Structure 1
Amino acid sequence: MPKPIRTSRRTWVAAWAVLCAAGLAATAGLNASPAPDPRPERPVSAECAEYVADIEKQLAEAGKEDGGDGVLAFSRVRVGTGDDCTEELRDHLRGDR
């Protein structure tokens, strides 16, 4: 079995220092870059606004009933609507709006 190549402690320290400097430079570059433009506000249909308000009401009721320890689940499929409110609901629940 061949002997492994021995490297000096100085080589390891130098490599570690170079990697740290590169990481710090990359971090500084990312922090200095401008933030992306916010998404433009899209108009929300009345049906979607009503749906989001209904979900907020259900969340508030569920929080009062069990003190916030339970799990509240919603179906992804809504019958009788042609409007898809997925993006609006996701934005609202994430707090983007």
Structure 2
Amino acid sequence: MPEPIRMSRRSRVAAWTVLCAAGLAATAELNASSAPDPQPEKSVSAECAERIADIETQLAKAEQEGKGDGVLVFSRVQVGTEDDCRDDLRNHFRGDQ
């Protein structure tokens, strides 16, 4: 059986250092390339924009009347419609827009 190639301790440490550095560089490159692309801003439909404007008006009216610290509840959600504006309302009032 042939004798294995003997390496000094320094050579082994240097080889492991090079392999670790290459692995870290490859990982960083993969993480940078797999970052999701920013989503283009979706436009709000006319119906949703109207609902948002109506809610904003009611909030302003409640604040003028001194009821700005309370909670307003709206029950205009139309279940089963294609455009129920749920996501648009959530994004708008969360401050995402």
TM-score (norm 1): 0.53
In the alignment, structure 2 segments of 5+ residues that lack a partner are 1-30
1:1-97 matches, within 5 Å, as 38-75=38-75, 77-78=77-78, 82-97=82-97
Distance 1:57 1:44, change over 3 A: same
May I ask how many residue pairs the two structures share in their alignment? 64
Instruction: Give the CA deviation at 1:94.
Output: 0.6
CA apart distance, 1:72: 1.3
Q: Which amino acid is 2:53 matched to?
A: A
Rg comparison, structure with higher value: 2
Segments of 5+ residues of structure 1 without an aligned counterpart are 1-32
Deviations 1:25-71 (A, max 9, x none): xxxxxxxx989654321121111111101000111101111252322
With over 3 angstroms needed to count, the CA separation of the structure-2 counterparts of 1:86 and 1:39, relative to structure 1, is same
Give 1:93 shift: 0.1
Q: Which whole-Å CA distance do the structure 2 matches of 1:71 and 1:63 have between them?
A: 11
What's the Cα RMSD here? 2.7
Question: How far did 1:77 drift?
Answer: 2.2
Residues of 1 paired with 2:56 and 2:96: CA distance? Answer: 15
Pair 69,44 (structure 1): closer, same or farther in 2 beyond 3 Å: closer
Query: TM-score w.r.t. structure 2 length?
Result: 0.53
